[in-house]
Structure 1
Amino acid sequence: MNARTRHMVTGALALSLALPLAACGSEQPKAQGDNSSIGLLLPDKAPRYDTFDRRIMAAKIASRCLECKLEYRNALGEEDTQRRQFEEMVRDGIRVIVLDAVDAKAAGPWVDAAAKKGVKVVAYDRLAEGAISAYVSYDNEKIGKLQAEGLVTALGARAATARVVMLNGSPADPSAVAFKKGAHAVLDRKVGRVVYEKDVAGWSIPLARKKFATALNTLGPTGFDAVYAANDGMAGAAADALETAGVRDVPIGGQDAELAALQRLVKGVQSFTVYKEVRPEAQTAGEIAVDLLQGKSITSQAPATVDSKSRSHIPAKLFNAQLVTRKNLADTVIRDGAVRPDLICTAELAADCKELGIG
């Protein structure tokens, strides 16, 4: 969060949408060298991955290719585990692998070695290094700009002199690097200054909590005016710390449209989040994987190009995201069916939800 930022759409989506498990066709036994299989390697157990990405992608693949199977593995946040999973898929004869890398740089040598054996790799959600055949994600630099603009709007007249604390995502994640770049492109022009900034390795919420506690202790409760958090988990950590310290009216922004973040929007504790629809991203990755497996052109599915540090002109599909605030909650995630109102509107939030017309 995905934002890749990545740690992106989680609890809100995980509790509200459903796809038939029967459509997945995943994790079935296959014969050695079975070229009808497509591999999917996801990085961790964020709720969105098993509930949405895997299932949506599997359903799309099944609709395009009846004989195809989706072989799914999750690295549980461990780069070495993902490397082993990737290499096992290559040894088993899987010809197309959709990879959401734990560590984008570390994945480069595996991808290159696989490419020499004719294996096509689709970078998913975050751009891995190496001979990637296609990339499907969101325009992450634009997301960073969107987050920063949201913070500026929340600050209002205070923006020009505002002091901002920044909690960025993992430096090993290219998406996080892009979020940070986009955010600075706006904040460096439109706020007073950034008074504290830290990257959070592995998108770790406990680490984000520690880093924000340091900021709060160092700057004092009146030493900053707003908090930029690369995802909703870190925004929640900051919100909890501010509540404990008795600090109010500090704009906080996040990303991923998590259920807890949407509830904070309703309460007025968090100023905004970023909504990235999982469905079009996962479906497009599935479409591209099938086309690559069948030797078809992917130009219509990946009309743009991106560059990584090791490869230029990678075919890509980059989706746009949307800022969600208290005011447009009903017209975004609720309207799209990404989250049911009853999941947001607990008894504690009933009055606020009624005020917003979502109860």
Structure 2
Amino acid sequence: MIDGRRIYMMARTLTVAGLLLAMACQKPAHTGEHPVRIGFSMDTLKEERWTRDKDLVEQRAREVGALLDIQVANGSDSVQTKQCENMLAKGVDVLIVAPHNGEVAASIVEAAHRKGVPVIAYDRMIRDCDVDLHVAHQQNKIGEMQAAYALKHVPKGNYVLIGGAPTDYNALILREGQMRILKPAIDRGDVRIISQQFAREWKPEEALRITEDALIRTGKRIDAIVASNDGTAGGAISALEAANLAGKVLVTGLDAQKDAVQRIVRGTQTMTIYTPIRPLAFGAVDAAMRLARKQHVDAPDRINNGKRDVPSILYEAIVVDRSNVDQTVIKDGYQRREEIYQ
């Protein structure tokens, strides 16, 4: 016969075991004994698109139960390196890095790996290192898309090419893609490259200066400007407006920023490339969670960074012009119709 004290002890043991099991089932996503801690190192928030990246990374981190530390370097290599060192010292499990300089950031990857922390190169490749994963849009195709659009609408004439920051590997990839498409037309003599420069830090004022110089040297005879993003497109268009040429010269762009889409519907900018940020940001956080847990990440693409073929997840981009603004950036909620059509 079981006495009352023994029944009490058995019931107490079962109750405690049940509570422990329930607590275990209610823990957030974690690695080891703590929630996954993600460090997100950003180059800048000066452009509209990067504030979108930040907001969407924050949203996805909340949804998956991760702890997120965001640091913004404001265009400084030394600041970005120091911020990443601080996040590593605080014990992040994984780093997502949008590098200011893809070559300098290799030291961040090396420092992280010494602590056993994986690194994701976000939007921009980190060069000459063993970075674990690259999450980006198809930069090699975007440059081709810009040049192909320009050639379709202006098959002959004087072209100006305005690249982004020479320290940004994406700027170089975009230029390579543009030249792959333009070279046959250049070789035939159909297209003449008047200027092909890079705008430091992707600054619109640099693009304005480049365009002003080209206008002076050609006597205002420019037919197309292949600007690598919407910021440089805006700078170029400012120069065209001062010369009474806005809307008369084809201008490309990238990022589908609000001011650029407004220019497109007004007719001063011809096109932009829409790179949906939600899948990029969500994909980076989801991949970070898996890397932190030492789980496999499905990365179907490979991009060589000078040292290795880096596993990559690449998202598609979409051409946007006046014919499809409503069906693309507005339909997706990326831009609001009432703000575009003012």
Identify the TM-score tier after normalising by the shorter chain: 0.7 to 0.9
Residue 192 of structure 1 aligns with an amino acid whose one-letter code is V
Counterparts of 1:164 and 1:260 in 2: how far apart (Å)?
A: 23
Residue 276 of structure 1 aligns with an amino acid whose one-letter code is T
Equivalent residues, number: 304
Secondary structure at 2:314 match in 1: strand
Aligned to 2:38: 38
Q: How do residues 183-194 of structure 1 correspond to structure 2 at under 5 angstroms? A: 183-190=178-185, 191-194=190-193
Counterparts of 1:314 and 1:35 in 2: how far apart (Å)?
A: 27
Aligned to 1:167: 162
> With CA pairs under 8 Å and 6+ residues apart, which has the higher RCO, 1 or 2?
1
- Answer whether contact 1:34 1:92 (CA < 8 A) is retained: no
Secondary structure at 2:268 match in 1: coil
- Answer whether contact 1:42 1:49 (CA < 8 A) is retained: no
Which of 65, 87, 104 is residue 102 of structure 2 equivalent to?
104
User: Is 2:311 the counterpart of 1:315?
Assistant: yes
- Answer whether contact 1:40 1:97 (CA < 8 A) is retained: yes
Per-residue CA deviation, residues 140-184 of structure 1 (Å, 9 max, x unaligned), is 0100000011111222xxx1x311011111111111111000001
Aligned to 1:177: 172
Counterparts of 2:266 and 2:40 in 1: how far apart (Å)?
A: 38
User: Is 2:144 the counterpart of 1:145?
Assistant: yes
Aligned to 2:326: 330
Secondary structure at 2:225 match in 1: strand
Q: Report how far residue 138 of structure 1 moved.
A: 0.7
Secondary structure at 2:103 match in 1: coil
- Answer whether contact 1:58 1:286 (CA < 8 A) is retained: no
Secondary structure at 1:38 match in 2: strand
Per-residue CA deviation, residues 185-208 of structure 1 (Å, 9 max, x unaligned), is 111123522121111121122222
Residue 242 of structure 1 aligns with an amino acid whose one-letter code is L
Per-residue CA deviation, residues 74-102 of structure 1 (Å, 9 max, x unaligned), is 01111111010011111112120000001
Structure 1-normalised TM-score? Answer: 0.81
User: Is 2:69 the counterpart of 1:74?
Assistant: no
Residue 226 of structure 1 aligns with an amino acid whose one-letter code is A
Counterparts of 2:263 and 2:153 in 1: how far apart (Å)?
A: 15
The 3 A distance-change label for structure 1 pair 324 and 46 is same
Q: Report how far residue 47 of structure 1 moved.
A: 4.4
Secondary structure at 2:87 match in 1: helix
Counterparts of 1:131 and 1:117 in 2: how far apart (Å)?
A: 14
Which of 291, 302, 306 is residue 305 of structure 1 equivalent to?
302
Per-residue CA deviation, residues 7-46 of structure 1 (Å, 9 max, x unaligned), is xxxxxxxxxxxxxxxxxxxxxxxxxx97731100111113
Counterparts of 2:333 and 2:107 in 1: how far apart (Å)?
A: 40
Stretch of structure 1 that moved more, 312-321 or 39-48:
39-48
Stretch of structure 1 that moved more, 314-323 or 184-193:
184-193
- Answer whether contact 2:38 2:288 (CA < 8 A) is retained: yes
Counterparts of 2:230 and 2:50 in 1: how far apart (Å)?
A: 19
Counterparts of 1:42 and 1:242 in 2: how far apart (Å)?
A: 32
Residue 157 of structure 2 aligns with an amino acid whose one-letter code is A
- Answer whether contact 2:85 2:111 (CA < 8 A) is retained: no
Aligned to 2:205: 206
Per-residue CA deviation, residues 23-74 of structure 1 (Å, 9 max, x unaligned), is xxxxxxxxxx97731100111113446642122223223333x3x2001110
The 3 A distance-change label for structure 1 pair 340 and 49 is closer
Residue 344 of structure 1 aligns with an amino acid whose one-letter code is I
- Answer whether contact 1:43 1:100 (CA < 8 A) is retained: yes
Counterparts of 1:35 and 1:259 in 2: how far apart (Å)?
A: 36
Counterparts of 2:48 and 2:67 in 1: how far apart (Å)?
A: 21
State the percentage of identical aligned residues. Answer: 30
